[in-house]
Amino acid sequence: MKSFIENFKKYRFLLLELTKKDVKLKYRNSILGFVWTLLEPLLTMIVLTIVFGTIMEKKTPHFSVYILTGRLLYTFFSGGTKLALKSIRRNAGMIRKVYVPKYMYPLAAVMSSFITFLLSLVVLVLVAGAQGMKPTRHLLGVFLPLITLFIMTVAIGLLLSVLDVFFRDLEYLWNVATMLIMYMSAIFYPAENLLDSKYGVLIRYNPLYSVIANFRHAIYGQPSELFYTVYPIVFSLAVLTVGVYIFYKKQDRFVLYI
């Protein structure tokens, strides 16, 4: 552990540069640039509110905020894991030429997505304010779901980045998987209607839904639920442990396949 910490300190500036590079690449060919970070979730929220609002508005107060909270957190998870998945192959040239701790690449990919995600939360603040929602003491509860979500995305991204080196079709399979995860995360429908049904287990034991649920509780001024707090933390740490083990076991073989 001591050697890992010292190695991380040695290359921390490289991690910062890799993160900055990923952020710049995202907007390199965009006319709107950073503004798109705010416009994209706002436009998506408007479309989903129009489509589902007439059905759900009476059942779910501040339905636009409900959609936006789920959409923002899911977008970070989906985008962060997809960037991390491709991070080793995308930096194949650098990996072949110089020594850099290889975990820096998926970690930088997730960090760049997290920065964009934090900036996009401005839209949530504006929409919640426009709908008359006032902050309560429970708003402090947003930090734990955000930290948990970051660890979860790093953990899954690290594992995917290893598997993608040896199994190139994983990128397409993960696109399908993230779509299924989206529908099991109750982004645009109230989960309460389904939790007691035969499909409720798919939602309840989806760790991303747990994070979204507690984040919503904080925004709506409600206390966090214990299960939705503990379960995703345990899941994230377990996947992180497995991901780190497999990554270190296989990293010396990366150069043979990228």
User: pLDDT tens digit string along 47-97?
Assistant: 777 767 666 555 677 888 998 999 999 999 999 999 999 999 988 888 888
Instruction: Report the candidate in 199, 188, 201, 255 with the shortest Cα–Cα distance to residue 231.
Output: 201
**Token output for 66:** 């409900």
Q: Classify residue 258 by burial, with Cβ atoms within 10 Å: 0-12, 13-18, 19+.
A: middle
Instruction: Say how many Å lie between the first and final Cα of the chain, rounded.
Output: 28
Return the SS3 of 103: coil
**Token output for 50:** 């129009």
Give the chain's length.
258
The pLDDT, as a whole number, for residue 12 is 81
The pLDDT, as a whole number, for residue 232 is 97
Which amino acid does the sequence have at 245?
Y
The pLDDT, as a whole number, for residue 198 is 76
- Within 8 A by CB and 6+ apart from 149, the residues are 73, 76, 77, 208, 211, 232
Which amino acid does the sequence have at 173?
L
Q: Which residue in the block uniquely carries the two structure tokens 């992180």?
A: 240
The pLDDT, as a whole number, for residue 54 is 63
**What is the distance between the alpha carbons of residues 219 and 247, in angstroms, rounded to a whole number?**
36
CA angle 57, 62, 68 (to 5 degrees): 105
The pLDDT, as a whole number, for residue 42 is 77
Residues in the chain, pLDDT under 50: none
